Amino acid sequence: MGRRQRDRRRQQQQQRRERGGGGDGQGRDPAGWAGGYPEIVKENALFERYYAALRIVPEGEWEPFMAALREPLPATFRITGYKSHANEILHCLKNKYFKELQDLVVDGQKIEVPQPLSWYPEELAWHTNLSRKILRKSPELEKFHQFLVSETECGNLSRQEAVSMIPPLLLNVSPHHKILDMCAAPGSKTAQLIEMLHADMNVPFPEGFVIANDVDNKRCYLLVHQAKRLNSPCIMVVNHDASSIPNLQMDVNGKKEILFYDRILCDVPCSGDGTMRKNIDVWKKWTTQNSLQLHGLQLRIATRGVEQLAEGGRMVYSTCSLNPVENEAVITSLLEKSQGALELADVSSELPGLKWMPGITQWKVMLKDGQWFEDWKEVPSNRQAQIRPTMFPIKDEEKLKAMHLERCLRILPHHQNTGGFFVAVLIKKSPMPWNKRQPKLQWKLLQKTGDTAVPTSTTEDGSVETIEEQPPEDEQAREVQDSLNSECEQSKKDGVCGPPPSKRMKLFGFKEDPFVFLSEDDPLFPSIQKFYALDPSFPKMNLLTRTQEGKKRHLYMVSKELRNVLVNNSEKMKVINTGIKVWSRNSDGEQFGCAFRLAQEGIYTLYPFINARIINVCIDDVKVLLTQENPFLSKFSNETQKLVKDMAMGSIVLRYDPDPNRLDTLQCPVVLCGWHGKTSLRAFVPKNERLHYLRMMGVEVFQAKRKEEDLRSKMEEGNQDDNAELVEEAADGDGTMQLGCSKQH
């Protein structure tokens, strides 16, 4: 929004106030505006009848269950665990913001100090009795809300529903795992997975990676925004239908092998009746028809997931629904089709403190008109397109007992003041029965070579049975791999990974720029390597750009494993985004020997390889850098001035190491990108990241909303990378900031 539009809007609002609230100048009755939309009645007779009959709630708990569903969902947030300063954020929360909430009363409601979620490790997740509406609207909570928003923007906090945090924890991720998130948007769970990969901040490139997929092109960009906050070179966002996501290949010791994932998160689309506390529209719209329509899609997505899971791998299936048709029915069908290849894992001891109910083994199916069916045989032929046999529990007691459906987790809202949720953890013990023959891609290749086809038949539930005996799997694999290798070598363009060439793809969403890796002899790299004295171990082959022609504006970096995936699958995969920005072109830099300056987003990934242009600064220098626009060198300590004196102008690294003897100062290392000018030194750090570091150092950065609105035009005109708009307003006449240290250790 431009300045003129803002001024015009302010004038219109002032005129309305003068006219007594009439938006059209006719003096409307203010009471008509005060009414707003009619409040949604939190009642649904069909919902209550359905779940009361299924007995998903323990005896005597129905009233507390329904009462909890009618209450607003409390706000919950999570501290990102892989950042080295997570402990500093926790300390700041406990000793500053939580103390200010004590004994506070808002709208007649006493504010409870946030409490840690008992089942989340290391006190990194917290909940409060504040609803999101109160948190946003109350002036008394403005400071705390601003803190949450700002820290969320720079990736240090994630505001996420409590039950949504459970599936990534149960995946039990290690830094070397290859992970697929099948239905990833909006991305809060994906962010958790990325954090787990980076559990050790001393390793810039974990061996593992996350491929985050979503079928909705627009939601993929929301996913990119979430992932970008975490600045990881190990995340790739792709846009495919999860039920038919393609098999990918990787180069392993010179041979192409199909990629199987160590961990898969299968958080499928669902009816969402567990989210009634947050999405109150569900009360009005809920019907059993939603679950009946989604069951088939959920089963197809879960089936595709287990097909791509490595043997010994773990897949978590989850929904925010309470309906067994979307939950236990899908798991039962999957286990039955797997013929022993899958088993439900017992995770009862993995999250101590979490209250849950076991999965149910008996349920009925109901149409939206209230008609019940207990068995597939009862369904009339005109309803068999709506109701499928996989929606019913199995009758064989021995089979049912062997499935261990009680190992599924059902989270009920009234037990720990959360939303409703369902989670099942599956372990793959052997290949799926229908995958013991050649996959579809391999089958076509064998037909091309004239090999004899093996006849198969399709069973009632959609799985494939082989009629004749097949040759040994490893012999097939060798033949297929040879075919794959020759085909891929002919079709692959060196280093260029563009979107699929199919014309149909262009009809869906935006056409993405290609991903072009730097060649071995790219003329750009030597000047960069020399200027920053990059270590010989620096993986320059992992650098990429988003343009094939013209000047390269930005350089991005991915991990070695993601490069492998990109290069070998450019023809079959629609990649929306990958890589972390590490360098940006700066025309002024060319005269100093390097046209590319460092980017703050990728500095923690890049720093271990840089051996030159590093300046170690003290805590007072960091405050000057973060509170002033372009401070003169005379503002800095003598040590810093000496280090800078003989250094050529251009992009630099500013490193702060904590002083263990000064416990009242910031106790985590900080790495910033900066620029050394002729007479000045400045930091290139985004606004929210500046505010984060200042908070951790005890500097008060809060600005009231009214003052912020007066400054908004200045903030929008300024360069986000070059200034710290909010803190500058508190500066005095000579450009220094009035520092009010509020941190108490």
Is 329 annotated to bind ligand?
no
CA distance from start to end of the chain: 43
* Tokens 């999965």 -> residue: 359
674 and 654 Cβ atoms separated by less than 8 Å: yes
Q: In what order do the strands lie in the sheet with 74-79?
A: 115-116, 125-131, 74-79, 157-159
Nearest in space to 84 (alpha carbons), one of 604, 701, 611: 604
Tokens of 210: 């996350």
Is 186 annotated to bind ligand?
yes
Q: Which phi and psi angles does 594 have, rounded to 5°?
A: -150, 130
586 and 511 Cβ atoms separated by less than 8 Å: no
Is 188 annotated to bind ligand?
yes
The one-letter amino acid code at 163 reads V
Nearest in space to 466 (alpha carbons), one of 489, 420, 434, 439: 434
* Tokens 């350089």 -> residue: 555
Length of the chain: 745
| 114 Cβ contact list (under 8 Å, min separation 6) | 93, 98, 101, 126, 127, 128
Is 683 annotated to bind ligand?
no
Name the 3-class secondary structure at 387: coil
* Tokens 């710290």 -> residue: 724
120 and 104 Cβ atoms separated by less than 8 Å: no
Tokens of 131: 């609803």
Is 29 annotated to bind ligand?
no
Tokens of 353: 């403190």
227 and 146 Cβ atoms separated by less than 8 Å: no
Tokens of 231: 């600045």
Is 187 annotated to bind ligand?
yes
* Element (DSSP H or E) covering residue 583: strand 580-585
* Element (DSSP H or E) covering residue 74: strand 74-79
CA distance 374 to 394: 11
CA distance 179 to 177: 6
Q: How far is CA 597 from CA 522, 544, 602, 635, in A?
A: 18, 16, 11, 23
Q: How far is CA 365 from CA 324, 376, 393, in A?
A: 9, 9, 10
Is 20 annotated to bind ligand?
no
Strand duo 109-110 + 105-106: pairing: antiparallel
Is 399 annotated to bind ligand?
no
Q: Which of 220, 234, 266, 320 is catalytic?
A: 320
Q: How far is CA 341 from CA 197, 427, 431, 432, in A?
A: 27, 8, 6, 6
| 190 Cβ contact list (under 8 Å, min separation 6) | 181, 184, 210, 212, 223, 226, 227, 235
Radius of gyration over every alpha carbon of the chain, rounded to an integer in angstroms = 29
* Element (DSSP H or E) covering residue 454: none
CA angle 508, 510, 512 (to 5 degrees): 120
CA distance 276 to 448: 54
CA distance 303 to 330: 9
CA distance 298 to 284: 24
CA distance 500 to 151: 37
Classify burial at 78, counting beta carbons within 10 Å of its beta carbon; exposed 0-12, middle 13-18, buried 19 or more.
Answer: buried
Q: Which phi and psi angles does 149 have, rounded to 5°?
A: -65, -50
CA distance 182 to 173: 16
CA-based max dimension of the chain = 88
Active site residue 497: no
Is 461 annotated to bind ligand?
no
Is 185 annotated to bind ligand?
yes
Mark the binding-site residues for S-adenosyl-L-methionine, compressed into ranges.
183-189, 214, 241, 267
List, as residue ranges, the binding site. Answer: 183-189, 214, 241, 267
Q: Provide the annotated active-site residues.
A: 320
